[in-house]
Amino acid sequence: MTVEHAVSLQPLEGEFKAMARSRRRRRQPEDPPPPPTGPTRAPLGFALLAIALLAITVLLGGCMQLETTVRLPAPGRVQFSHTSRSATGEALPWQNRWAEALSGSALRLSSDHGRLTITSRVLPAAQAWTLLRSSVASGAHLAGLSLPEPQLDLSERNWLLGVRQRLHVELDLRQLETLPGLDLALRVEPMPARAVRLAQPEQALPLATPGGDQAPALRWPLRPGALNVLELSCWRWSRLGLGAALIAALLILVSWLQRLRLAAGFGPPQLPS
């Protein structure tokens, strides 16, 4: 083979190699097209979970104990208080907002290391119930909840010797989910355990008093996600009525003894000569 033939074969060999490479490339499958783009949608389950977590954060921000105390110091008079405790030992955002919302009302507020106490004065029953409903509605609104108005009814009948009291409480918490660390309760004092006529779904339990020197009280746990109903009935004895009855009984006894004396022939009592 001459030099000229060798030189002419080298370009041809290079062209064949290039053609072979191009054919191999054609035989390889083409890459799949990219997926179509468009507005993305979050899964429904994730959205519901996010809403639930947001509600928990707004409502609590941590574990919470909330107890409402209703005091019946005298017939026709009511005093109430709300006590909320944070398990973290620090005031929660919800507690701060609730305190700010009620700061201009007729309620007394005190806060100490995650404990917020809201107390009313001793008021006539109608005024106390109105103020109690307003404070509960304010707290629920700040927590992002729309709860039905609590039903509170105190009926009394005076029988001179005492007053027959009947208390009916109905709290609809079916829209409130059961959350870990959430403890709700209603406390009524003074109130003996025998006064309970109906308590559902939780039982109203008597509170142990140290030494037994305090008035009896009841604590009724509230269950979220349920309709809570409490009915109480008791007598509130009147000191004035009992004193008048005792005086009348003594007068009747003296009159009866005087009749026995006259019947025995001793005559009416006389002064010593």
If you write DSSP's letter for every residue of 16-70 in order, what string do you get? Answer: HHHHHHHHHHHHSPPPPPPPPP------HHHHHHHHHHHHHHHHTSS-EEEEEEE
Q: Which of 214, 218, 224 is nearest to 147 (CA)?
A: 224
**263 phi and psi, to 5 degrees?**
-65, -30
Residue 270 forms part of a structural domain: no
Quick one: 255 exposed, middle or buried, by C-beta within 10 A (0-12, 13-18, 19+)? exposed
**Contact criterion met (CB below 8 Å) for 96 and 133:** no
Say how many domains are in the chain. Answer: 1
Residue 245 forms part of a structural domain: no
Token pair 């002064």 in the structure block, residue: 271
Would you state the pLDDT for residue 270? 65
> Pairing between strand 196-200 and 227-237?
antiparallel
Token pair 């022939």 in the structure block, residue: 265
Residue 189 forms part of a structural domain: yes
Query: Burial code of 123-132, b = ≥16 C-beta within 10 A, e = fewer?
Result: bebeebbebb
pLDDT tens-digit profile, the chain (273 residues): 444 444 443 444 444 455 545 555 555 555 555 555 544 444 444 444 444 444 444 444 447 899 999 999 988 899 999 999 988 888 888 899 999 999 888 899 999 888 999 999 999 999 999 999 999 999 888 888 888 889 999 999 988 788 899 999 999 999 888 777 889 999 999 999 999 999 999 999 998 765 556 789 999 999 999 999 999 999 987 777 778 788 888 889 888 888 887 887 776 666 665
Residue 152 forms part of a structural domain: yes
Would you state the pLDDT for residue 50? 40
Residue 88 forms part of a structural domain: yes
Residue 21 forms part of a structural domain: no
pTM of structure: 0.68
Measured between alpha carbons, how far is 188 from 116 in angstroms, rounded to an integer? 19
Would you state the pLDDT for residue 56? 44
Contacts of 244 (CB under 8 A, 6+ apart): 160
Residue 51 forms part of a structural domain: no
Residue 7 forms part of a structural domain: no
Largest CA distance in the chain: 182
Would you state the pLDDT for residue 244? 79
Domain that holds residue 85: 59-239
Q: Which of 188, 185, 192, 195 is nearest to 228 (CA)?
A: 185
